[in-house]
Amino acid sequence: MLGVSDIHDIQTSTHAFPSVHLPPKTISKTRSTTSEDPSVRFDDVKKILKATLESWESKNVWDCVYDTYKDLHKHPSTSGNESYIAGKAAKFLKDIQMLLNSASSFNGSFEVHENVGATTEGGPGVVGVMMNPGGDTKKSLAQLRDDPPKPVVLLRADMDGLPVKEETHCDYESENDGVMHACGHDMHTTTLMAATQMMVENRGAWTGTFIALFQPAEENGTGAMAMLKDGLYGKVPLPDYVMAGHVTPELAGNVSLSHGTAYSRSDSWRITIKGKGGHGSRPEACYDPIVCLAYVITRIQSIVARVVPSTEAGVITVGQIEGGAAENVIPESASMKVNIRSNTDELYAVIEKELRRVVAAEVRATLPEGDVAWTAEEQGSSDANPQFERISGLPLLKNTDSLRETISDAFGTLFGADRFDGNVAGVSGSEDFPHLAKKTAHDETPSIPLLYWRYGATNKEAWDAAAGDVTKIPSNHSKKFLPQLRREEVDDPLKVGTQALVGAALTLLREREGDALGGFEMV
């Protein structure tokens, strides 16, 4: 990962990826718009991106971006342990901070916050904030903090890897044994770094506040909330919009948005059933909790088939079973971990209620002696039978309709109808991203407009060989998941992911008259 190595002269210093220089200050007028009704000129956004992409191609900036991605892919870390990738992101942002804040032509401010959310629940989050008020009068940092330029747009990338042993056999395979970037968060981080640089280079084309947030601990579902609990929106301006994208095993070059629910709600429980233990040779003197658990596992499969409405989408998975320590001993208890996915909060309530009823009924059928806990309140106590203990939960990710419509129009112009679909079905995967659309950690539901899109990573040869069937293609969390990486292709995922982030941000931020590329010029 490259950074500013020699800042000896601000006019000829090294920038985050390549070399840049600051042209003479350009005075621009700010258009009169509001964050609630942003000025949207999709063709202009496309022109800005086209000019920037051509510049990056001619100056070989993408070589640095691709090298950064490979470096991050080789050095993954699990949730809460993202010191390497967070350090790279922080160094990158500090390089920009040093360059921008020393520039006479920049009337705003660039701040960097490290270790946001670095608690036992989270990890080393990093946030860069660029306040760009426009005009020709330099404002103090205090003035900008008191009255941040509007609108405030936050883009997010997650940073953590997974405890998976990589088997892609690429020349930049993970060097950390047993840990892999199997979900593409290295690509998310790299594209947000590249997007940040593009926003800085094109600072003359917009005003407002741009926030680049690098989040830890997404895979265990704790990172976003940990950043909120650490006072995220006291450290940085409260955003008017929060947005992000996720790389998927769909066809490389394609971008998609879901109407309504984009990612499902996820809730996990540990359910313990208590029996009466004893010798395996005398089952008649015991009440076997393992047999009861086996009936429960079989019975709950009918919840989705017979309780969930055919118009809804729900999934129940028993992913772990624990019980007993020896083959000839009937244990006192047995437990399982259950995960529920649902595409609405109302559906989740139905599934949870039925799950509790079915488990309690099987306990009663197996254990005629003793009290059975039937209600949620009873099942939450430590001596309850059955006992329900909540492990984790991720909120429903529902795209804000008005924001989806605006960005759909922008993406349609940017990528074209053959590469963009603004109305794809949501998926049963889950995300902690919606927490960032809450104003405080105490809020129950998001209140800030949010948007989450997908972009493909599978090369055309593999896609055609699988006849477009994603179940036949290595997917996220697989030991063989590896996004296409072809520097020479215009529609490569790294480039498309970066364009989507920049296109969405520029669409919402206020536009400025004058040279769209007035700001930083690549040299």
Which is it for strands 278-279 and 241-251: parallel, antiparallel or unpaired? unpaired
Give yes or no for a contact between 270 and 337, defined as CB atoms under 8 angstroms apart: yes
Out of 82, 95, 160, 219, pick the active-site residue. 219
Phi/psi of residue 32, nearest 5 degrees: -85, 100
Closest-CA residue to 172 (of 253, 99, 66): 66
Q: Return d(Cα 150, Cα 148) in angstroms, integer.
A: 6
Tell me which DSSP letter residue 187 carries. H
Three-state DSSP at 386 gives coil
Closest-CA residue to 204 (of 40, 16, 29): 29
Q: Return d(Cα 77, Cα 353) in angstroms, integer.
A: 37
Give yes or no for a contact between 245 and 157, defined as CB atoms under 8 angstroms apart: no
Q: Return d(Cα 296, Cα 415) in angstroms, integer.
A: 49
Give yes or no for a contact between 516 and 202, defined as CB atoms under 8 angstroms apart: yes
The position carrying tokens 């490290």 is 114
Q: Return d(Cα 196, Cα 91) in angstroms, integer.
A: 13
Give yes or no for a contact between 303 and 351, defined as CB atoms under 8 angstroms apart: yes
CA contacts within 13 A on the Cβ side of 280: 8
Q: Which amino acid is at 420?
A: F
Q: Return d(Cα 18, Cα 457) in angstroms, integer.
A: 26
Q: Which two structure tokens, joined as six digits, stand for 389? A: 């203990």
Question: Containing H/E element for 127?
Answer: strand 125-132
Which is it for strands 333-342 and 265-274: parallel, antiparallel or unpaired? antiparallel
Out of 95, 121, 158, 352, pick the active-site residue. 158
Q: 219 an active-site residue?
A: yes
Contacts for 390 with CB less than 8 Å, ≥ 6 apart = 267, 268, 269
Q: Which neighbouring-strand residues pair with 265?
A: 342
Contacts for 303 with CB less than 8 Å, ≥ 6 apart = 314, 316, 351, 354, 355, 358
- Strand runs labelled E in 343-473: 387-394, 397-398, 420-424, 450-458
Give yes or no for a contact between 318 and 294, defined as CB atoms under 8 angstroms apart: no
Three-state DSSP at 85 gives helix
Give yes or no for a contact between 227 and 255, defined as CB atoms under 8 angstroms apart: no
Q: Which two structure tokens, joined as six digits, stand for 480? A: 């063989």
Q: 240 an active-site residue?
A: no
Cα-based distances in Å from 235 to 63, 228, 239: 34, 10, 12
283 preceded by a cis bond (ω within 30 of 0): no
Active site residues: 158, 219
